[in-house]
Structure 1
Amino acid sequence: MTALLDDDLARASAEAGVENTASLATISGFGFVEVGEQWDEVDGLELIFEVPV
């Protein structure tokens, strides 16, 4: 799981692998909303989430 804070847009984003159920549950618990997906050469398919801060 990766998290990033973008001060200019006032949002936080996080990515987690589709099989990483623990990270997905944590992300969901903080109110993140899925906004897309990306391919990571090491981890494979990752889901991208954002939440306003």
Structure 2
Amino acid sequence: RKDIDLLVAWGLVVRRHGSGTYLVRKDVLHQTASLTGLVEVLKRQGKTVTSQV
């Protein structure tokens, strides 16, 4: 759930109450389908990627 919250915050997916969670851009789906990691996809899009433990 926290991962989905991050994707929503980054603008990659949108939640629709009573309907589900959807990708915002089709090109994101295409990039992830090529077995590229999420971090790599986000970096290519110019996003700042961090992690906390």
After TM superposition, is the score higher than 0.5? Answer: no
Greater relative contact order (Cα 8 A, min sep 6): structure 1 or 2? 1
Bigger-Rg structure (1/2): 2
- After TM superposition, the score normalised by the length of structure 2 is 0.29
Select the structure that is richer in helix.
Answer: 2
